[in-house]
Amino acid sequence: MVANANIGSKYTYSNLGFALMAAILGGSPPTLAAFRNLVQSRIFAPLGMKSTFFSDVSLAQLPLGYEYDYQQSPVYEGIAPGFEFLPAYNGASGVVASANDMMQWLLFNMGINLNSELTPLLPVLQQPSTRTMYDDYKLGLSWFIFEPPSGSDLPSSISKLGALDGFDSCIAFLPSSGTPGAVPSQAGVFVLVNADQITADQMNNGPFLPSSLANDILLIMQGAELPADKSNYPRLFRPHRRRTATR
């Protein structure tokens, strides 16, 4: 539910725009098959990714994740894989990708794996278009662009959290020192945790664990010391999904 607000007066995270884009790309009348085929032929195949959509995968083949709840005991509960199938939002979610696929996606966005048609899009995708509700963040096309405050030892980063029942993830990389795609990023990381809702300080008020681990790794890759206090790490927005947990 999104409260009404004047245009340009308030930032709200929403996947609706990507869902509408998928419907438009799906043709007239829009079909899920047309959109899936377009993504496969124009993105997955050129980048060497084997990804597909949840509608084409048996959930019984997927691993079990865990829900983490600081307010209950035991704090972990097993939760069924996947998510409630909502094909209208295939443009915003619904892709099944392996760890290898995510590494291919990371290397592409870092400007390391080049593609003649897709790489020229990187400057537009990674260009800030608006600020978020957090002062240190700007938003590109789906990417959160972190600009640390003056005097901070934290690196600038381009990142995105992912969330699925029983899983949290983060993909993050350093901005290019020149034109994205022409000058490669110097470091990047993908982190997947098979439990959701875990925060770095175990008090449910710090950055989510995948984001914290990603920032740790980016600092290590640059030869920097890790801060004892993670509270200044970027607090990425995590989309919230919840189904009934099963023990």
| pLDDT tens digits for range 136-153 | 788 888 899 988 877 777
CA 165, CA 30: separation in Å to the nearest integer? 28
Is the pLDDT at 239 greater than 60? The verdict is no
Mean pLDDT, range 122-147, rounded to an integer: 84
The yes-or-no verdict on residue 45 having pLDDT over 70 is: yes
- Model confidence at 246, pLDDT cuts 50, 70, 90, reads very low
Q: Confidence band (pLDDT; 50, 70, 90) for 191?
A: very high
**What number is the average pLDDT over the span 164-178?**
91
Q: Across the chain, what does the average pLDDT equal? A: 83
pLDDT attached to residue 141: 86
Q: Comparing 74-78, 169-173, 195-199, 239-243, which segment has the lowest mean pLDDT?
A: 239-243
pLDDT value at 247 more than 60 = no
- In 3D space, the residue among 97, 84, 86, 90 whose CA is nearest the CA of residue 26 turns out to be 90
Mean pLDDT of 220-227: 89
Report how far residue 216's alpha carbon sits from residue 132's, in angstroms, rounded to the nearest whole number. Answer: 23
| Token digits of residue 243 | 């189904």
Tokens describing residue 186? 């110097």
Predicted local distance difference test score (pLDDT) of residue 235: 67
Query: What was the pLDDT predicted at 166?
Result: 84
Model confidence at 60: pLDDT above 90? no
How many helices, marked H, and strands, marked E, lie in the chain? 5, 11
Whether the predicted pLDDT of 214 surpasses 60: yes
Round to whole Å and give the CA distance between 160 and 190.
10
Exposure letters 59-81 (e unless 16+ CB within 10 A, then b): eeebeebbbbeeeeeeeebebbb
If you average pLDDT over residues 106-118, what whole number do you get?
97
The single-letter DSSP state of residue 92 is T
What is the arithmetic mean of pLDDT over 54-69? 80
Is residue 203 classed as helix, strand or coil in its secondary structure?
A: coil
Asked if the model's pLDDT at residue 134 lies above 80, the reply is: no
Strand locations in the chain (E): 52-53, 65-68, 76-79, 95-96, 130-131, 137-139, 144-146, 157-164, 167-173, 188-193, 195-196
> Is residue 221's pLDDT more than 80?
yes
Q: What is the CA radius of gyration of the chain?
A: 18
Quick check: bond before 123 cis, omega within 30? no
Q: Which CATH number is associated with domain 16-221? A: 3.40.710.10
Contact 199, 213 (CB under 8 A): no
pLDDT in tens, 18-36: 888 888 998 888 888 899 8
Q: Averaged over 122-135, what is the pLDDT? A: 83
- Other beta carbons within 10 Å of 169: 22
